[in-house]
């Protein structure tokens, strides 16, 4: 196993970015950049051993300078939406960027994916890791507390990509970190993901209002197009006459996972019948946003000159529930107390079905 470093270009502000590529003995490669702690490449074999990059993105850092679609992005300080771009903590109201209508999305206009991170590399038996860290200062994006953040990407010999998130703040604050990689297991440039199959171990999801803010209800998936407890083809029901799907323009919903929350457990999978590639998702977080790329607009040129369009990538964003800082009925708050460690892990494991 090894890690290599290469130049990844220069940002619009003249800052030089570096690409770190981890490779295991199976030929699987994962590349991340210190600009935004962003995942750039995930290269895995199909059933015939042919390698392909299964994550959407850009050829160099200039694409990630903008990246309004959040390809591969490390999301923070709060992933997903916060209603009315505000929350009250310890009797104090905090106002955030309104970058999604009246709401706050993925931290605001400048998310963690738009900052440089300090980087260290580690090689151990059976795995290699790239650790990225920075201090998010008090009131950055409008959130209280100096938050020390570390996100560690680890590649194993079992073709697992593990993402470990750690954070400690000197004040009570809100933390909900996630990753926004768009997967296409047929290859990033292969077109639609509507023929992919999805499994999600969740009996409930969180319906939303028209602004995609959860209403506070936990709704059963029974008898609805939201039910992925058995493997389903993404495109079969994505345009069904069902209000939550119409509100979001397709799948863009938080699922209430059936895991214990105590350990990193199997919660979901993605399968591409054409290539045989399978991805399994493991996490200790209570929620996962399934987002089927409904708003990919075809305006930006991606890797190799590919222009991505609607529903050509799909996200499995493990998370605390959206707007958990405001919705008191949700069973896991996004409030992190001063000097209390925020620690979660998500694993994406790749394999093939022969």
Catalytic residue among 131, 140, 312, 317: 317
Over 90: is that where the pLDDT of 85 sits? yes
pTM above 0.85, yes or no: yes
Average the pLDDT over each of 210-219, 226-235, 325-334 and give the range with the smallest value.
325-334
CA proximity to 165, closest of 182, 188, 147: 147
Map out the domains of the chain with their CATH numbers: 2-195+289-352 (2.70.98.10)
Q: Verify whether residue 196 is a known catalytic residue.
A: no
The total number of residues shown for the chain amounts to 354
| 143 phi, psi to nearest 5 deg | -95, 140
Beta pairing partners, 342: 167
Known active-site residue 180: yes
pLDDT tens for 286-309 read 999 999 999 998 888 999 999 999
| CA nearest neighbour of 199 among 314, 96, 284 | 314
Euclidean distance between CA atoms 345 and 266, whole angstroms: 12
How many other C-beta atoms lie within 10 A of the C-beta of residue 231?
12
Asked if pLDDT for residue 317 goes beyond 90, the answer is yes
DSSP 155-189: EETTSEEEEEEEEEESS-EE-B-EEEPPB-TT-TT
Which of 41, 106, 180, 188 is labelled catalytic? 180
Other CB atoms within 10 A of residue 124 CB: 10
């Amino acid at each position: 196993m090894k890690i290599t470093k290469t130049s990844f270009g220069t940002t619009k502000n003249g800052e030089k970015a570096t690409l770190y590529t981890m490779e295991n003995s199976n030929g699987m490669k994962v590349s991340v950049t210190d600009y935004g702690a962003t995942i750039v490449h995930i290269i895995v074999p199909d059933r015939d051993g042919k390698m392909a990059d299964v994550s959407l993105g850009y050829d160099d850092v200039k694409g990630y300078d903008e990246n309004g679609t959040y390809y591969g992005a490390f999301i923070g300080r709060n992933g997903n939406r916060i209603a009315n771009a505000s929350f009250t903590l310890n009797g104090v109201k905090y106002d955030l960027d309104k970058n999604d209508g009246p709401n706050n999305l993925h931290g605001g206009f400048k998310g963690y994916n738009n900052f440089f991170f300090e980087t260290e590399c580690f090689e151990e038996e059976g795995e290699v890791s790239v650790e990225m860290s920075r201090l998010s200062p008090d009131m950055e994006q409008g959130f209280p507390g100096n938050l020390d953040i570390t996100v560690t990407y680890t590649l194993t010999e079992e073709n697992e990509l593990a993402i470990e998130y750690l954070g400690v703040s000197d004040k009570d604050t809100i933390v909900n970190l996630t990753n926004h990689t768009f997967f296409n297991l047929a290859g990033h440039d292969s077109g639609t993901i509507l023929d992919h199959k999805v499994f999600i171990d969740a009996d409930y999801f969180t319906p939303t209002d028209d602004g995609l803010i959860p209403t506070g209800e936990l709704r059963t998936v029974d008898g609805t197009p939201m039910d992925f407890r058995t493997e389903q083809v993404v495109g079969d029901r994505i345009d069904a006459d069902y209000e939550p799907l119409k509100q979001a323009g397709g799948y863009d919903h938080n699922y209430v996972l059936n895991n214990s929350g105590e350990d990193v457990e199997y919660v979901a999978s993605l399968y591409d019948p054409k290539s045989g590639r399978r991805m399994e998702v493991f996490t200790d977080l209570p929620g996962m946003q399934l987002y089927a790329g409904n708003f990919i607009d075809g305006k930006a040129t991606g890797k190799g000159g590919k222009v991505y369009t609607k529903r050509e990538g799909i996200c499995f964003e493990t998370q605390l529930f959206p707007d958990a800082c405001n919705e008191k009925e949700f069973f896991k708050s996004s409030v992190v107390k001063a000097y209390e460690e925020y620690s979660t892990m998500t694993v994406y494991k790749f394999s093939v079905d022969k």
